[in-house]
Amino acid sequence: MTALAVDAALAMLGVAMLLNLWRLARGPDATDRALALDTLYVNSAAMLILYGVQLGTARYYEAALLIAMLGFLGTLALAKFLLRGDIIE
């Protein structure tokens, strides 16, 4: 039963990632694209964690943590660029 729930969650995250890619490509504003990119890295980290649960190994948790940290820093840099037009002052 647990394997079925993990498979269903992986499928739903895959659909969510496809919708995020669609918004990233088609978004009318830069803020929409930034939000889609932010959601995409959160979904990818969640997918890695679920994949690690499915396989029963802890190797994928470190990769998910790395994606989350780099995604957060990327979001900060992108927000600063969108607000000020320059990253380095």
User: Could you say which residues of the chain have pLDDT below 50?
Assistant: none
Q: Residue 34: which domain range?
A: 13-84
Calpha distance 35→23 (Å, rounded) = 9
Cα–chain center distance at 22: 14
What's residue 1's pLDDT? Answer: 67
Whether residue 33 lies inside any domain: the answer is yes
Please say whether the beta carbons of 2 and 35 come within 8 A. Answer: no
Whether residue 2 lies inside any domain: the answer is no
Whether residue 7 lies inside any domain: the answer is no
The DSSP secondary-structure symbol of 56 reads T
Whether residue 50 lies inside any domain: the answer is yes
Calpha distance 77→81 (Å, rounded) = 6
- Total domain count, the chain: 1
Q: What is the pLDDT of residues 14-24, one digit of tens each?
A: 999 999 999 99
Cα–chain center distance at 7: 18
Calpha distance 18→26 (Å, rounded) = 12
